[in-house]
Copies of this chain bind each other. A is one copy, B any other.
Amino acid sequence: MYELKPIGFVESSLVDRESAPMQPDEGAPEAWLAFVPEVADGLRDLEIGADVLLFTWLHESDRSVLTTRPRGDANRPETGVFNTRSPDRPNPIGLHRVTITAIDGLRVRVSHLEAIHGTPIADLKPVIGGIPDR
């Protein structure tokens, strides 16, 4: 068992899972990432325009789910969660490829984020090695 400590939280106009898009290209808005003061030194060298991989902890997820129908579609077959991007899964880590659009101290604004307001931030990494996924 390992302890994941949030390094910040998402500030977004999306306030609940039901209204949030499932994928970033489905109308996800810009959002602020508000980092905790303890990690300020780690934010050095972030740059506007950079593509980054944002890791969140999807805290409203049901961690007991092992199979699901992708996109909640009753016509699709029951699928093992590790072959889906469902937020309901044993360790609900969210992976989001976003672009930095503004930086204001401990706050970093990013494009197209489908995570809801209050989602804990777990990590942030630069994109390397070719064209990135989300």
A residues near B (Cβ < 8 Å) are 1-7, 23, 25, 39-46, 50, 52-53, 55, 57, 59, 66-67, 79-85, 89-91, 93, 95, 97, 120, 122-134
Q: How far is the CB of A132 from chain B (nearest CB, A)?
A: 3
Which residues of the other chain, B, contact A4 by a CB distance below 8 angstroms? 1-4, 91
Among all A-B residue pairs, the 7 with the closest Cβ atoms: A132-B133, A44-B80, A41-B66, A42-B66, A82-B124, A45-B83, A2-B4
Which residues of the other chain, B, contact A125 by a CB distance below 8 angstroms? 82, 84-85, 95
Q: How far is the CB of A35 from chain B (nearest CB, A)?
A: 9
Cβ–Cβ contact A55 & B23, under 8 A: no
* Contact with A122, one of B52, B59, B93 (Cβ below 8 angstroms): B93
Which one of A53, A55, A81, A127 has the highest number of Cβ atoms from chain B below 10 Å of its Cβ? A81
**A89 CA to B125 CA in the complex, in Å?**
10
Which residues of the other chain, B, contact A41 by a CB distance below 8 angstroms? 66-67, 80
Which residues of the other chain, B, contact A7 by a CB distance below 8 angstroms? 90-91
Q: How far is the CB of A6 from chain B (nearest CB, A)?
A: 8
Q: How far is the CB of A100 from chain B (nearest CB, A)?
A: 10
Assuming A42-B89, A55-B91, A130-B133, is B5 touching A3 (CB within 8 A)? no
